[in-house]
């Protein structure tokens, strides 16, 4: 059985590809959002956050032969936990890296982490739109208050997202709920509605709607702050065929690749 860690975007396609190769798959996701099109035969699912100990327990009790890390590019903690569990159990670790869609150019400002991004975003003295999800909001809220600059956060329309916003003291009027990816027009309208001058995003790839965010920001004359991806424990593969080849190799050799 293959343990596949991921969300409901590429992970669903990867799960199906693995099943078509004849593997049994245990798909582990943090949230219970149903995957588009279902999962199909040979694929089981478990929901909830996993630490290294929990992943190790799954590997040992479920007869896991290899672990595929297809988590979000910014899910550094779960990738580190997966790597630790694989090292402890001698299980091959194979990663999928969602291809980047951010091209360096005019108006693009890179930040090494969210603290750096918050400092940079509010240094321009204009209203800031966050499109980074509901995690890591604290440094932006603190910096917005320090400078007295308007902050708007677009988050997933889910109770946990609203709770995360409230926890860091973000006003309800500063929260925009929705489910992406959003079109260029939708992003443009949101930017215009709040007179946004700086958009903050992550390099989340096509599935994260990054291209449409950047296009809208550029059309609107906004500066764009991009938080760099944290490195995975081991370099991944950027296509599903390459990933499948790596899984087969890891099982034949006993090592991740």
Give the chain's length. 257
Whole-number pLDDT of residue 8: 60
Give residue limits of the domains in the chain.
2-99+231-253, 108-227
pLDDT tens sequence for the chain (257 residues): 999 999 767 888 999 999 999 999 999 988 777 666 667 788 998 888 899 999 999 999 999 999 999 998 888 899 999 999 999 999 999 999 988 878 777 789 999 999 999 999 999 999 999 999 998 999 999 999 999 999 999 999 888 899 999 999 998 899 999 988 899 999 999 999 999 999 999 998 877 789 999 999 999 999 999 999 998 888 889 899 999 999 999 888 766 55
The Cβ of residue 231 has, within 10 Å, a number of other Cβ atoms equal to: 9
Helix axes 52-61, 76-89, angle to 10 degrees: 50
Whole-number pLDDT of residue 131: 96
Q: Considering only CA atoms, which of 86, 75, 50 is closest in space to residue 132?
A: 75
93, 233 in Cβ contact below 8 A?
yes
Whole-number pLDDT of residue 209: 86
Q: Which of the four CATH numbers 3.40.640.10, 3.40.50.880, 3.40.630.30, 1.10.599.10 does domain 108-227 have?
A: 3.40.640.10
- Total-model pTM: 0.81
Architecture of domain 2-99+231-253: 3-Layer(aba) Sandwich (3.40)
Chain mean position to CA 138: 18
Whole-number pLDDT of residue 124: 96
Between CA 154 and CA 131 the distance in angstroms is 5
2-99+231-253 matches 108-227 in fold: no
Between CA 89 and CA 248 the distance in angstroms is 19
Q: What sections of 137-209 are H helices per DSSP?
A: 138-147, 159-167, 184-193
Whole-number pLDDT of residue 146: 95
Provide φ and ψ at 156, rounded to 5°. -65, 140
Return the structure tokens found at 95.
Answer: 């990663």
């Amino acid at each position: 059985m293959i343990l596949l860690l991921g969300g409901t975007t590429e992970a669903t396609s990867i799960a199906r590809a693995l099943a078509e190769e004849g593997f049994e798959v245990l798909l582990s996701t943090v949230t219970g959002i149903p995957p588009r099109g279902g999962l199909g035969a040979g694929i089981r699912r478990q929901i909830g956050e996993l630490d290294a100990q929990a992943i190790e327990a799954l590997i040992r009790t479920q007869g896991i032969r290899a672990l595929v890390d297809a988590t979000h590019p910014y899910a550094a903690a779960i990738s580190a936990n997966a790597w630790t569990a694989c090292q402890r159990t001698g299980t091959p670790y194979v990663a999928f890296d969602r291809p980047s869609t951010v091209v360096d150019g005019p108006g693009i400002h890179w930040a090494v982490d969210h603290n750096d991004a918050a400092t940079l975003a509010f240094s321009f003295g204009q209203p800031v739109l966050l499109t980074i999800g509901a995690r890591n909001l604290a440094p932006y809220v603190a910096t917005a208050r320090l400078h007295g600059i308007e902050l708007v956060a677009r988050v997933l329309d889910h109770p946990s997202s609203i709770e995360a916003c409230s926890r860091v003291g973000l006003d309800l009027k500063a929260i925009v709920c929705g489910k992406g990816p959003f079109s260029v027009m939708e992003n443009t309208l949101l930017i215009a509605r709040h007179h946004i001058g700086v958009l903050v995003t992550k390099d989340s790839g096509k599935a994260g709607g990054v291209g449409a965010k950047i296009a809208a920001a550029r059309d609107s004359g906004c500066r764009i702050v991009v938080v760099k991806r944290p490195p995975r424990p081991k370099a991944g593969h950027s296509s599903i065929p390459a990933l499948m080849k790596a899984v087969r190799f890891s099982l034949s050799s006993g090592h991740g690749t």
